[in-house]
Each structure stands twice: as structure tokens, then as C-alpha cells.
């Protein structure tokens, strides 16, 4: 395929857009220096430090010229692939409800990767801790709104939730809300 780049065939902006679309997207990781603030406007997935724009995500560098003097630079993740919780994966969850037998959660992250879709999980009373399982009181272990690190022990399907455990030293509530209002 040839791109006709003669001055009379297309406006300059159209030609540069075509050329940008033809080139492979640049892959980056958090902390990569992308450009100077004099060259671009920071968008999503980036941060400013000492006059330069750095990537805050692992993904693809995207430059858009939205009618402004400088292009907006962003870092986006691949939109096609969806990470799914798998058996053995460490997940970050938010507790949504509690009853005497289990806590219901929404899975927010698999490892350090945020999920696009919402997945539900259940932490049963017997999966809260490894010892003295019969003495566990779900209400004393979790509260709605708590952020929990858990491990997937069983996959869910359309009707059921992922089965999770916090019965390891590294797992459990990592952010809790006080009973006492401030």
C-alpha cells in the first residue's frame, strides 16, 4: 500500500493522521518518559513530573490532536482482552453484604490489573481463616465497604459467584471503615 503524500492531494493534518494510523502503536510500562510538557498535553494514564509526561499504566501510547495546539498524550490498555479471575489468583474485592454464613464481594482487581467487568465473589465462613474455623463470626471479620485481598479457590459460572478464601497470612481486610462516625 502506498500513501500519496504530495501537497496537493490531501491536507497536511489528514496526511499526518494517516501516517500515525499506519505506524505500530508504541508499548510502554509505568514510569516510561513519554515526552515533554512543551510537546503534548497530558491525558489519561499519565502523570507529570519535572516538566515531563510519564506513563502510569502498562499499555499503548495514544496521541490525539483534538483541535488544540498540542496533541493530547494518553496511555490506554488493550480493549479486546479481558482478564478473568482464575483459580489461585489473588484478587482485590469490596465487601457488599454480610450474613452469618458468608460475605458477598465485588472483585475489582486480579493481581494489580483492574477489571472492566464486575465479577461477584463469596467468602464463606469456613474460608475466612485457616484455624478455629468453627469460631469465625462473619460480622466480626468483614463490614460492607471493606477492601479485602483474597484468593480464588473455585470458579463461578453465570448463576454463581467465584468462591474466595482469606485463610492465609497475606490475605484479609486491607482497608476497613470505622464503626465510629467522624
Query: Is residue 78 very low, low, confident or very high in pLDDT (cuts 50, 70, 90)?
Result: low
- Is residue 5 one of the residues assigned to a domain? no
- Examine the domain organization and report whether 69 and 95 are in the same domain: no
Whether 25 has a pLDDT exceeding 90, the answer reads no
- Examine the domain organization and report whether 102 and 70 are in the same domain: no
Whether 22 has a pLDDT exceeding 80, the answer reads no
Query: Is residue 158 very low, low, confident or very high in pLDDT (cuts 50, 70, 90)?
Result: low
Backbone angles phi, psi at 160, to 5 degrees: -105, 175
- Examine the domain organization and report whether 67 and 32 are in the same domain: yes
- CB count within 10 Å of CB 26 equals 14
**C-alpha dihedral sign at 139, 148, 47, 65:** negative
- Is residue 10 one of the residues assigned to a domain? no
Q: Which helix (H) or strand (E) holds 106?
A: strand 102-110
- CB count within 10 Å of CB 156 equals 17
Report field, pTM of the whole predicted structure over 0.85: no
Whether 116 has a pLDDT exceeding 60, the answer reads yes
- Examine the domain organization and report whether 138 and 101 are in the same domain: yes
Query: d(Cα 39, Cα 17) in Å, to the nearest integer?
Result: 17
- Examine the domain organization and report whether 64 and 124 are in the same domain: no
- Is residue 180 one of the residues assigned to a domain? no
Find the domain containing 129 and state its range. Answer: 90-175
Amino acid at each position: 500500500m502506498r500513501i500519496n503524500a504530495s501537497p496537493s492531494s490531501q491536507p497536511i493534518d489528514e496526511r499526518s493522521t494517516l501516517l500515525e494510523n499506519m505506524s505500530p502503536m508504541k508499548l510502554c510500562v509505568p514510569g516510561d518518559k513519554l515526552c515533554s510538557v512543551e510537546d503534548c498535553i497530558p491525558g489519561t494514564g499519565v502523570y507529570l513530573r519535572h516538566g515531563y509526561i510519564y506513563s502510569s499504566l502498562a499499555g499503548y501510547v495514544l496521541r490525539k490532536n483534538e483541535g488544540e495546539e498540542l496533541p493530547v498524550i494518553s496511555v490506554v490498555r488493550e480493549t479486546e482482552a479481558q482478564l478473568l479471575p482464575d483459580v489461585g489468583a489473588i484478587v482485590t474485592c469490596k465487601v457488599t453484604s454480610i450474613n452469618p454464613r458468608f460475605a458477598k464481594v465485588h472483585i475489582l482487581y486480579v493481581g494489580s490489573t483492574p477489571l472492566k467487568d464486575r465479577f461477584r465473589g463469596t467468602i464463606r465462613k469456613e474460608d475466612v481463616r485457616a484455624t478455629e474455623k468453627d469460631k469465625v463470626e462473619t460480622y466480626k471479620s468483614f463490614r460492607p465497604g471493606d477492601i479485602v485481598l483474597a484468593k480464588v479457590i473455585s470458579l463461578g459460572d453465570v448463576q454463581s459467584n467465584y468462591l474466595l478464601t482469606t485463610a492465609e497470612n497475606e490475605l484479609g481486610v486491607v482497608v476497613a471503615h470505622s464503626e465510629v462516625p467522624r
